[in-house]
Amino acid sequence: MYDLLLFNIGQLLLPASSSHPLKGEEMKHLHVIEKAALAVKDGRVAWIGQTVKGERLEALSYLDVQGKVISPGLVDPHTHFVFAGSREHELALKQAGVPYLDILASGGGILSTVKSTKNSSEDELLTKSSFHLERMISYGVTTVEGKSGYGLDRETELKQLRVMKKLQEKYPIQMVSTFLGPHAIPPAFKGESDQFLEEMISLLKEIKEQSLAEYVDIFCETGVFTVEQSKRFLEAGKKLGFGMKIHADEIDPLGGTELAVTLGATSADHLVAASEEGIKQLSTSNTVAVLLPGTTFYLGKEHYAKARKMIDGGAAVALATDFNPGSCVTENLQMIMSLAALKLNMSAEEIWNAVTINAAIAIGKEDVAGTLRIGAQADFVIWDIPNYQYLPYHFGVNHANSVFVAGKRFGGLNHEL
């Protein structure tokens, strides 16, 4: 006897259950079951199949999905959603043509959010990030990565990481925490980035001991941290058993992509300015290219990451919001799927794989997220769309009818079901 049987599913999307990222051609394949049914028991996926005429599966409750599409819960593998304050005043600066890195260099940008986050109590931070997290879930996300990096000192970095730990206890969704201590150089360490980096390295042991993060990450960019510093920091993290991520080649082509491949990082993120050589190396590795077209859009840039070249060359691509208060202010991963279609020229199949299985692999959650497996936590979304190609096509709105986490309806619009 099942707890819940969803039937009359127009299309049930089942990305490959894979422990290695889908690369190149593999990204073009998306397994779809038409006229499907899905059974849930004890919060887990219990049965998946086609609705056979006359067949009657016994369940405590039934839900007629009315031909809509069901996918696994989406995975957002790169966000900075735990922060205080906001930076709407920077929009006018951007309109006046002040570049993102100049705003940072003059003490604004990330450093402005650092000030607000330092001045915020742990409870205030928890309330505000719960709000952002719930909004992400309402858009269909059931697995989220979140980064620290708005503290740049021991106390505030640990405060951000503790908030994420509390959120993991408060919500049934899957979460991954990343320590991004080297996110900017605080004013007290101006001109002394090596000393600041050492401070951040000295926190790694404590973070590991308290299980406050699974990954380490660094902002490798002009005026922030060099490739050599990034290597030093990531290697220190690796030695202690952290997974590695890197903000690489977002604005200038410093070579962070090549470094990620050399170190065997789980992901290299941004890659808008990645070199030809970096892109070639990605295809020979299992490092996932996490692309963030919402950021390119929000920064008003003309050139987007070369997703076509990456995928056609055989690399693995995932997509994320990069939700943060400066360079991409949206929790809406569906909007990112539309940008991937329109600006990265990715196909619908590639896009769905990039926000499910490849995104899960980019944060080490492939065993529990990114597809629907019998026995796994039942995290899925009922979409108000007639087919899976429709979602990227109709942009900027929320198509999530109902978001199920551990087999229970959590959020979404709940139209007519």
Would you say 322 or 366 has its CB closer to Zn ion? 322
The interface partner of residue 219, options being Zn ion, ligand IZC, none and the CB cut-off 5 to 8 Å by kind, is ligand IZC
Query: Do the Cβ atoms of 94 and 35 come closer than 8 Å?
Result: no
Would you say 26 or 157 has its CB closer to Zn ion? 157
CB of 315 to ligand IZC, least distance (A): 22
CB of 303 to ligand IZC, least distance (A): 16
Residues 312-341 that bind Zn ion (CB under 5 A): 322
CB of 176 to ligand IZC, least distance (A): 17
Residue nearest to ligand IZC (CB): 326
Would you say 17 or 116 has its CB closer to ligand IZC? 116
CB of 149 to ligand IZC, least distance (A): 7
Q: Residues 243-272 vs Zn ion: string with x where CB under 5 A?
A: ------------------------------
Q: What is the binding site for ligand IZC (CB under 6 A)?
A: 80, 109-110, 113, 219, 247, 324-327
Would you say 10 or 255 has its CB closer to ligand IZC? 255
CB of 81 to ligand IZC, least distance (A): 11
CB of 320 to Zn ion, least distance (A): 8
The interface partner of residue 113, options being Zn ion, ligand IZC, none and the CB cut-off 5 to 8 Å by kind, is ligand IZC
The interface partner of residue 366, options being ligand IZC, Zn ion, none and the CB cut-off 5 to 8 Å by kind, is none
Residues at the contact surface with Zn ion, assessed by CB under 5 A: 322
